[in-house]
Amino acid sequence: MKQWFEELVQRNETKIVMVVLDGLGGLPINGKTELEAASTPNLDALARISATGLHIPVSYGITPGSGPGHLGIFGYDPLEYQIGRGVLEALGLGIELKNTDVAMRGNYATVKDGIIQDRRAGRIPTEEAQMLTEMLQNEIRSIDGVEIIFRQGMEYRFAVVMRFPEPLKEDSAMVNDTDPQKIGKPPLKPQPMNENSERVAKVAEKLINRASEVLRNQQRANYVLLRGFSQVPHIPSFEENFGLRALAIAIYPMYRGLASLVGMDTPAVEGDIKEEIDFLVQKFNDYDFFFVHIKKIDSFGEDGNFDGKVKKIEEFDKYLPRILELKPNVLIITGDHSTPCLLKSHSWHPVPVILHAPYVLGGTSSSFTERECLKGELGIFPAKYILPLALANSGRLKKYGA
């Protein structure tokens, strides 16, 4: 936000909880979206007494990645602050990044005769992938004087950082992804997009070749695909912008990484929805703002698993009363983007929002679905205004002007 907004922020003792159901929005299959097909009595009851609407993560027609999707709902303009996926993954895995670093997110993949058979190596379990990542780290410590740092993530995902001996120019990470996003195609070669990224691309190519040699005897994970070449940008902290001491509760490292980048505390949490809400209850007196991230809804959407996505939404609904028992002053429930099973990918479609607080109109939506939220008092609005609305409803914004 601009300085004029920061000057309106005031601190008090109120609590704000933001639950992000990753990939929440959907499209109809056999006449119903995933939300419409789900049995969600608690979400529906909450929607009836709350402000509802649909948010646009970035801009009309723009399909957001997870980084821009979360930045928007955190109150930052995702067109102004652009964060690469590699940076998010590395930060989330506890790698402290420097201005000498280029970070990437890696996928283990299956390649045969130069053609990608599986972009996720059969979704190998984390334990198996951990052994492979340790093998890579032991075998590849530096390339042409550039230190190489590997760190295992969840399942087939890992982070890799190229630490150069000197600070890099701001545009040095402009290298294309090597994942073509489809099976049946060869991996892409890392290509520089400008003069400053030429050295980065060369080191990345050597890194991929070395990794292929190390993994050559693996049946499934015999190749690495690199995505999200990126460097650390400067982003004003969450507390600096909004006057909120914030805690991120997220299982997956990338989302802890994003929260860390804006200055939230990001302790590691293991488990699933139950364990995340247990942690929320445990820490509720210690912070002003709580970001609770629920991942698997998005995963089922990307797999085209309509029933799986429905069941995960229903599972969260069963735990919602535990959040309501905490009586936060403001409760926001939304997604960072839509992931319709129909498309098996992120999409540009607006995302349903519940904003529960004492000072809303309410009574406009009969349930928590895309079509019902369209009737809500918030209308269709940019995601970056969710945080100002939460601050206003928690008494944390002063009057503007005389």
Residues 6+ apart with CB under 8 A from 64: 57, 58, 72, 78, 336, 337, 346, 348
Instruction: Tell me the whole-structure pTM to 2 decimals.
Output: 0.79
* Phi, then psi, of 138 in degrees rounded to 5: -70, -35
Instruction: Give the CA angle between residues 103, 78, 349 to the nearest 5°.
Output: 110
pLDDT of residue 84: 81
Residues 6+ apart with CB under 8 A from 209: none
Q: Which two tokens stand for residue 90?
A: 């590395």
* Phi, then psi, of 255 in degrees rounded to 5: -80, -30
From 166, 192, 148, 38, select the one nearest 99 (Cα to Cα): 166
pLDDT of residue 65: 87
pLDDT of residue 2: 52
Q: Which two tokens stand for residue 388?
A: 């100002």
From 316, 309, 317, 315, select the one nearest 338 (Cα to Cα): 309
* Phi, then psi, of 60 in degrees rounded to 5: -60, 130
pLDDT of residue 386: 98
Residues 6+ apart with CB under 8 A from 24: 35, 297, 313, 334, 335, 338, 339, 351, 352
Domains in the chain, CATH or no CATH each = 3-80+237-393 (3.40.720.10), 88-230 (no CATH)
pLDDT of residue 1: 46
3-state SS, residue 16:
strand
pLDDT of residue 131: 96
Q: Please, what are the averages of pLDDT over each run of 10 residues along the chain (402 residues)?
A: 73 97 98 98 98 97 92 94 85 83 96 95 94 97 97 94 94 95 96 96 97 95 96 88 96 86 91 97 98 96 97 98 98 98 97 98 98 98 97 96 82
